[in-house]
Amino acid sequence: MKELKIFGIVAAFTLILYWGVEPFAHSQMHKHVEGDDLKYSDLKPLTVKGDAKRGESLAMACIGCHSIDVKNMPAPMDAVAAAQSFGVNPPDLSLAGKLLDEKFFAHFLLNPAEVTKSKHFAMPPSASSEQDAADIVAYFKSIAPKEVTPKEGYVFACGRCHANRYDKWTQIGDVPKTKSNIKTGVDLDALEFKKKLGTYQNKLADYMGKLPPDLSIIYRARSEHFLETFIEDPQSQLPGTAMPRVGLNHEGLEKVMAYLESTGDPSKPKREAIGPKVLGFFVIFAFLAFLWKKSIWKGHH
Amino acid sequence: MAHFDENARPFSHQWLNERLAIDTLKRVLSTEYWIPKNINFLWAMGMVLAATFGLLLVSGIFLLMYYQPNTELAFDSVNYTIMTEVGYGWLWRHIHGVGASVVFLVIYIHMFTGIYYGSYKRGRELIWLSGMLLFVTFSAEAFSGYMLPWGQMSYWAGMVITNLFSGGSLHADALVEWIRGDYVPGQAFLNRFFMLHVLLLPLVIIGLIVLHFGTLRIPHVNNQEGEELDFEKEAALYKEGKIRESKVIPFNPVFLSKDVFVLGIYFIFFFYLVFYHFEFAMDPVNFDPADPLKTPPHIYPEWYFLWSYEILRPFPTDPGLVAFGIAQVIFFLLPFLDKSPNVAPAHKRGLFKYWFWALLIDMIVLTFMGKLPPEGIWSVIGLIAAIFFFVLWIALPIITKKEKKL
Ligand code: HEM
């Protein structure tokens, strides 16, 4: 069949063209970074076992700066005041034991700046021995809730630095629902919130050197592979960056990625639902058109 | 003097016929618009283009209902409002984005079909020239559309492309500012490209499509052997019932039935891309909002402009601009640079056969290099391919003049 041969040639050139401008070009443009499967191999394995009971009393030092909501322990100051002291709001620790890698977490407590690979990390070393660190980690593992939503994962790991405006998330919490004055249209509560957020962001930008970008649609702007290796170790993709290595485990990474996907590519479930129907329609359409063509062309050759 | 039957029912066949000559129209435009029988599916590409343009128009109208041509709002009106809040907004956007990319693939297939079979010669010059005008207008339409989401690539591609109008060492900066309406791309820039994209250029395209169809009517389309048909004789044979002997078929319903089948296959491919493989048509860099303070590490145009971009890039500024300018118009000259008397498929035309494949492969190489960073071996290959492009066009009149008459 001559037409099939011609079709084969057109298809082959189209595929070559596609390969050249997409997979090949991207492989040349971006340096390929291999992930470490969240093993954090640069950190030594722990040699001791943690004791959650001992950890509980050691962890009382943490609430000098952090809140632990699951234990109803509030933070000593609100987000804006914390940013004024530290440059950033220390995250709530309820999920730390669940979403952070155990080994990373323990080493982090001994030496936050070095382990996060950020030159200045506002948290001072908060454990005096490997045993203490392991105990604290064991404690946070013991108090973690069973179920975590993707958004909770994001808020814990990234939310203090990165807003997500498509989900109305700001670094100091969700944008509150407020009402404006009917007579003047002025919404004082919203302005109040804006001012607080602005103060926080100014401090955060001073601390980090720049305002961390909003991550609403980062899922479409970077490849999944980039995001995963970047979160695992920001220095691997942006050497010298101020963003810390946060030390997520597999569950933590999964939650964060699920959240980024839900705000960056929300139509995926709808595509998967409708796609097969539309394609099915056109397969039937093409088949009927083929029968029509056959009947019309009868006697022409 | 026209005759109007007083008793004809309004909108009845007779009533319409007296006012619009619908029987004649139908005959001339469809049932007795004769198409050669000896053609393959590549001759359905024109219809595929018309259908894709239809998809672009309809999806564009839906997008237009929510898009905000404002530098502060544009990005989120597309990426949030349309993608999240508007029912099926994501579908219209993906159709529009994939359509804009695929339409160029089909245009290139359509053009190279014309080149292969010599369909730009002997009475068909105006088909070719109106086609080229369509190509240029589609290019402007695609570029202006690319500005609208106001992402990083919109901004920086807009910056780089409008900069070309400074003419290198001519330093026509005033011209560049006049085009932008500002020193750098900003609100004025976005507004005028919005106007071009949704009003002026679509109008021009629709006009040009009518012109293109008009130029086809008298010479008729070519065929696989380039054979010159006596359409009157062949049509008479067909009407006598000698369907098998006749070398022509009526557009409606015979050719149309094949067009519709090809369209069916094409739509399977098209909607597969829309639902499962749309990333290639929407560059990731454009999902970062425009930031005048942060130049992206790689700035490149969409894939269909890469070959001409690579003709600009490997040369020093001034010669590069001249080369780029020539590359934009050289295809217009094809009917006049091809000096051979033959209208025949390339495989029957001696050296032209090699010219055709060399041009196709050279443009693919240019396309590849246009996206890669201009470093080391890539810029050498790009330079060679760009020079080779001009060698080919200089060689064309020479080799076609030598061609023997078939
Ligand atoms: C994008 C809008 C375009 C549309 C809607 C369009 C439509 C068509 C249609 C319906 C036909 C007749 C059927 C066929 O041979 O495919 C045709 C023929 C033709 N078109 Fe186009 N076309 C477009 C662009 C172009 C371009 C960019 C060129 C090249 C510069 C071109 C050159 C030709 C030629 C040479 C023919 C005659 C083919 C022959 O005689 O065998 N067209 N076009």
Q: Which residues contact B392 (CB under 8 A, 6 or more apart)?
A: B355, B358, B359, B362
- Establish if A274 touches chain B: CB-CB under 8 angstroms: yes
User: What total of structural domains would you count in chain B?
Assistant: 2
Which residue shows structure tokens 């630095």? A161
Pairing between strand B248-250 and A169-170?
unpaired
Nearest CA in chain A to B39: A3
Evaluate whether B206 touches B175 at the Cβ level (below 8 Å).
no
Residues B119 and B240 occupy one common structural domain: yes
Is residue B196 one of the residues assigned to a domain?
A: yes
Is residue B26 one of the residues assigned to a domain?
A: no
Q: Considering CB atoms only, which of B41, B288, B368 is closest to A3?
A: B41
Nearest CA to ligand 1 atom 3: B49
Which of B272, B298, B324 is at the close of a domain? B298
| pLDDT, position A29 | 87
Please give the full DSSP string across B152-173, using - where no structure is assigned: HHHHHHHHHHHHGGG-GGG--H
Residues B283 and B324 occupy one common structural domain: no
Region B63-74: what's the mean pLDDT? 97
The CATH number of the domain holding residue B185 is: 1.20.810.10
Residues B314 and B294 occupy one common structural domain: no
Residues B269 and B136 occupy one common structural domain: yes
Q: What global pTM score does this model have?
A: 0.93
Classify residue A52 as exposed, middle or buried by CB count within 10 Å of its CB (0-12, 13-18, 19+).
Answer: middle
**Over the range B54-92, which residues count as b (16 or more CB within 10 Å of their CB) and which as e?**
ebbeebbebbeeebbbebeebbbbbbbebbbebeebbbb
Is residue B152 one of the residues assigned to a domain?
A: yes
Which amino acid belongs to residue A121? F
For B326, the domain range is 300-406
Provide the phi-psi class of B241: left if phi over 0, else alpha when psi is between -120 and 50, else beta.
left
Question: CA of A291 to nearest chain B CA: how many angstroms apart?
Answer: 9
Give me B184's structure tokens. 């750098």
Nearest CA to ligand 1 atom 25: B131
Please identify among residues 120-179 of chain A the ones whose CB lies closer than 8 Å to any CB of chain B: 165-166
Residues B67 and B160 occupy one common structural domain: yes
Is residue B10 one of the residues assigned to a domain?
A: no
Sign of CA pseudo-dihedral A24, A25, A29, A33: negative
Q: Judge: A21–B264 Cβ closer than 8 Å, yes or no.
A: no
Angle between helices B89-117 and B45-64 (to 10 degrees): 150
Using an 8 Å CB-CB cutoff, list chain B residues near A29: 298, 371-373
- Establish if A7 touches chain B: CB-CB under 8 angstroms: yes
Strand partners, A220: none
Residues B262 and B404 occupy one common structural domain: no
Question: CA of A188 to nearest chain B CA: how many angstroms apart?
Answer: 23
B107-125 pLDDT per residue, tens = 999 999 999 999 999 899 9
B144-185 pLDDT per residue, tens = 999 999 999 999 999 999 999 998 888 999 999 999 999 999
User: From the alpha carbon of B50, which atom of ligand 1 is closest?
Assistant: 5
Is residue B131 one of the residues assigned to a domain?
A: yes
Strand partners, A68: A73
| pLDDT, position A129 | 94
Residue B212 has pLDDT above 60, yes or no: yes
Q: 3-state SS of B304-336?
A: HHHHHHHHHCCCCHHHHHHHHHHHHHHHHHHHH
Using an 8 Å CB-CB cutoff, list chain A residues near B285: 221
Region B375-401: what's the mean pLDDT? 96
Give me B388's structure tokens. 């080779």
Q: Considering CB atoms only, which of A2, A216, A296 is closest to B257?
A: A296
Residue B49 has pLDDT above 90, yes or no: yes
Q: Give, for all 301 residues of chain A, the pLDDT tens digit.
A: 899 999 999 999 999 999 999 999 999 988 888 888 999 999 999 999 999 999 999 999 999 999 999 999 999 999 999 999 999 999 999 999 999 999 999 999 999 999 999 878 899 999 999 999 999 999 999 999 999 999 999 999 999 999 999 999 999 999 999 999 999 999 999 999 999 999 999 999 999 999 999 999 999 999 999 999 999 999 999 999 999 999 999 999 999 999 999 999 999 999 999 999 999 999 999 999 999 999 999 988 8
Which of B244, B266, B298 is at the close of a domain? B298
Using an 8 Å CB-CB cutoff, list chain B residues near A267: 83-84, 90-91
Residues B292 and B306 occupy one common structural domain: no
User: From the alpha carbon of B120, which atom of ligand 1 is closest?
Assistant: 35
Q: Judge: A25–B80 Cβ closer than 8 Å, yes or no.
A: no
Reduce the DSSP state of residue A73 to 3 states and report it: strand
**For all residues of chain B together, what is the average pLDDT?**
95
Ligand 1: lining residues by beta carbon, under 6 Å: B 43, 45-47, 49-50, 53, 107, 110-111, 114, 117, 119-120, 124, 127-128, 131-132, 134-135, 138, 209, 212, 216, 221-222
- Establish if B388 touches chain A: CB-CB under 8 angstroms: no
Q: Considering CB atoms only, which of B264, B288, B367 is closest to A21?
A: B367
Nearest CA to ligand 1 atom 15: B43
Which of B298, B329, B353 is at the close of a domain? B298
Residues B290 and B168 occupy one common structural domain: yes
| pLDDT, position A286 | 98
Element (H, E) at A231: helix A224-232
Give me A14's structure tokens. 């189209």
| pLDDT, position B31 | 93
Is residue B7 one of the residues assigned to a domain?
A: no
Report ipTM for this prediction: 0.94
B58-67 pLDDT per residue, tens = 999 999 999 9
- Establish if A25 touches chain B: CB-CB under 8 angstroms: yes
A186-223 pLDDT per residue, tens = 999 999 999 999 999 999 999 999 999 999 999 999 99
Residues B326 and B353 occupy one common structural domain: yes
Give me B347's structure tokens. 């495989």
Residues B130 and B145 occupy one common structural domain: yes
Residue B1 has pLDDT above 60, yes or no: no
A67-98 pLDDT per residue, tens = 999 999 999 999 999 999 999 999 999 999 99
B10-48 pLDDT per residue, tens = 999 999 999 999 999 999 999 999 999 999 999 999 999
Nearest CA in chain B to A279: B268
Is residue B9 one of the residues assigned to a domain?
A: no
Residue B135 has pLDDT above 60, yes or no: yes
Nearest CA to ligand 1 atom 22: B46
| pLDDT, position A119 | 75
Residues B152 and B243 occupy one common structural domain: yes
Is residue B243 one of the residues assigned to a domain?
A: yes
- Establish if A42 touches chain B: CB-CB under 8 angstroms: no
The CATH number of the domain holding residue B313 is: 1.10.287
Q: Judge: A166–B84 Cβ closer than 8 Å, yes or no.
A: yes
Using an 8 Å CB-CB cutoff, list chain A residues near B237: none
